[in-house]
Structure 1
């Protein structure tokens, strides 16, 4: 029989690949798990782990989070997400990293964090995560498994939250009841359940029966919906704001850049399926993170190329993505455009601001900071960017402390940061919400990854708001910057079936 060893902080077993061989119970018989039989039989959480959780609860005199992790030989995160459409719609998330080596699908909310204005959002998430960790009994320390929180922050916690973003507030995260983690040719299931002193094993049985019902559910096809309206919002006002910012930057030479964002609205003849959104993003938006975060009738999603922070035990890494140009219609044209971007002084200057800021930030938290030698091209379907990486040895840095200092980078806010944010608050009336802000996941041992939520949209009911921005510098031409934002709308227009404006 497996012996589980726990403590308040170090309650994780160090075993092969981070997961202790699970116990399964079939018809009341407890035995070592046979992975080959998992696809044919329901899973039962080991009663020994439940009993250990109850003992821990008694000794600590507080509720305990039981977090069980096992391998799913035939698991698939996207399939489970789709199967959860009826039982968990409005309480799901999906994440796929840029390299497509990690997929997460979360269903149900065992714990939820909603940050209101005036609260320290990064500290609140860190405190909640640490508190839950102290109360957790688990059989795993596998990365991106167990008590993983997924969600995002608002772009600017000093901006009043607009009605369409109220469900998300200044920060919104949840710990899923069921988490499927697909990585490194393996797939894991995490089951996260709070236990109180009055709970018995029947609660666990009910949860596992819910899982059995979920994975036996058919994947129902979603009805086609059509985009029936398209409105580019406040273009004239945006052009005037851009002109004002250019004049300001020409006058105040200590300011180098301000990023202005704008929106467009799409209307549909029905409700948009998150499953279909994911399928379209995977098909159309290679070399991008794909994310979906549902909260009731609101869904925030995107296909972003930009990593903000990757954190493992001893390593931190960020990406410097800035400057942009369209893709060519032929390989030759694409190459010419790419070379133009690599030699363009304005775009190189914008990119340099980002590199300097990220390097300086990581240097405050890391040893041996490394910066890639020179910009390369990061190519997506509709747009290409200048790209470099910055990394370092982590030391004792807390992930959310680093994240706080990185956001917003000059690519999304401007430079200097504080002055640029002041101008944005003055010139942008619309609430960016989660657009341009950190979105991602963090696990119990402070490992995780956050991307910058660009190329993104918010769906509420049968409407969608799309967001795009660009950096304004002293020699910017507002009409040209407006055209650049139009290119940046293209990825989400494709995903949603809107009218894509191809270049002539």
Structure 2
């Protein structure tokens, strides 16, 4: 049997009860998985590590952002070894190939019927800003907000995957379908990749908008690069990564960030790589790195307590480590931002912003709105 086309894989994803899609930012690794060979509901990294050692198939899933209780099966921590996995670029298959493929349909995409935002977010963020202004030991907290959308019908998942590739070609893609829920992330941010004894991660923090005008777009990039607040926020992230991994790896860290450009926003970006210095599982690196200051804050204990206090709902897989682990131990985890959870005709979108003592809460609210655009555009078709 010939290897399936992308359209056939999209159509099968829409038809399957359990499915997963993962693509690296450069699209050199593109995986589709269907069915369940084995699955684990757990947010405990040590439990997941032990379970991973028993799996012969690639495993996909994620750990929750923190230990707050969530009410959904995916968001509380979920990993699956699909019954069959297709790696598109190498035309490689794990498991028994499917005997037939569904007919490709062209059903209409859902539309947004209503939108409910977090109306008190600015007020709560100002509370955090005041705390940092009066206590210099409190340096940064990343605070998120969620938006709830009611849709006119269920989502056309095949079209959603196709639009994800068209609209967000330079992002990581992670889409997990289980128990009637669909978690979608088009994240720019890798947490860590392991290949043989080499690893790669990155510091991503500091954001400004894009412009359709090339000259203005470069001016915005220059403004971001030279902005003291954003450079300080970025330095927090890079220095923390270095501190947390020092005893596990040898590190190569550039002295200055570059600019990462995504369709709606651009970020300060520092690639970090090196060699593992011990027998380390990818989840060891994941648990050391998560949450980076780009997702949590500094000092970490205060930031995590503030997130729990000020955000209205647990994050679950939002801003959490999500990814793939191959049977040989190689793999890649990304950060579940630019994300949404769809359950029937309700979608929950998430976005966060790094809050410092000199932050402007209204401006940060606008930035989180920009970060929701990738998922809003997907739902708008």
TM-score range normalised by the length of the shorter chain: over 0.9
Unaligned runs of 5+ in 2: none
Q: CA deviation at 1:429?
A: 2.5
Partner Cα distance (1:180, 1:108) in 2:
12
Q: CA deviation at 1:169?
A: 4.7
Partner Cα distance (1:77, 1:106) in 2:
13
Partner Cα distance (1:405, 1:174) in 2:
22
Partner Cα distance (1:156, 1:78) in 2:
36
Q: Does 1:235 align with 2:145?
A: no
Q: Does 1:127 align with 2:50?
A: yes
Q: Which aligned pairs between 1:176-325 and structure 2 lie closer than 5 A?
A: 176-183=82-89, 186-191=90-95, 211-213=98-100, 215=101, 217-232=102-117, 234-236=118-120, 238-325=121-208
Partner Cα distance (2:267, 2:74) in 1:
29
Q: TM-score, normalised by structure 2?
A: 0.96
Q: Does 1:425 align with 2:308?
A: yes
Equivalent of residue 91 in structure 1, options 13, 18, 43: 18
1:218-271 alpha-carbon deviations (Å, 9 max, x no partner): 222233322111221x222x1121111011111221121001100111111110
Q: CA deviation at 1:307?
A: 0.3
The 8 Å contact of residues 77 and 316 in structure 2, kept in 1 or not, is answered as no
The 8 Å contact of residues 263 and 466 in structure 1, kept in 2 or not, is answered as yes
1:70-126 alpha-carbon deviations (Å, 9 max, x no partner): xxxx4445632423533x2x300001110011100000011010016xxxx111111
Tell me what 1:155 maps to: 65
Partner Cα distance (2:156, 2:149) in 1:
15
Change (3 A) 1:474 1:311: same
Instruction: Compare relative contact order (CA 8 Å, sep 6+) and give the higher one, 1 or 2.
Output: 2
Change (3 A) 1:78 1:174: farther
Q: Which aligned pairs between 1:45-124 and structure 2 lie closer than 5 A?
A: 74-76=3-5, 79-86=8-15, 88=16, 90-115=17-42, 121-124=44-47
The 8 Å contact of residues 185 and 336 in structure 2, kept in 1 or not, is answered as yes
Larger Rg: 1
State how many pairs are aligned: 380
Q: Does 1:167 align with 2:73?
A: yes
- SS class of match (2:37): strand
Unaligned runs of 5+ in 1: 1-37, 40-73, 137-146, 192-206, 499-504
RMSD: 1.6
The 8 Å contact of residues 313 and 394 in structure 1, kept in 2 or not, is answered as no
Q: TM-score, normalised by structure 1?
A: 0.73
Runs of 4+ that moved beyond 6 A: none
The 8 Å contact of residues 278 and 290 in structure 1, kept in 2 or not, is answered as no
The 8 Å contact of residues 245 and 285 in structure 2, kept in 1 or not, is answered as yes
The 8 Å contact of residues 245 and 288 in structure 2, kept in 1 or not, is answered as no
The 8 Å contact of residues 77 and 104 in structure 1, kept in 2 or not, is answered as no
The 8 Å contact of residues 13 and 157 in structure 2, kept in 1 or not, is answered as no
1:4-37 alpha-carbon deviations (Å, 9 max, x no partner): xxxxxxxxxxxxxxxxxxxxxxxxxxxxxxxxxx
Partner Cα distance (1:492, 1:84) in 2:
19
The 8 Å contact of residues 77 and 103 in structure 1, kept in 2 or not, is answered as no
The 8 Å contact of residues 173 and 185 in structure 2, kept in 1 or not, is answered as yes
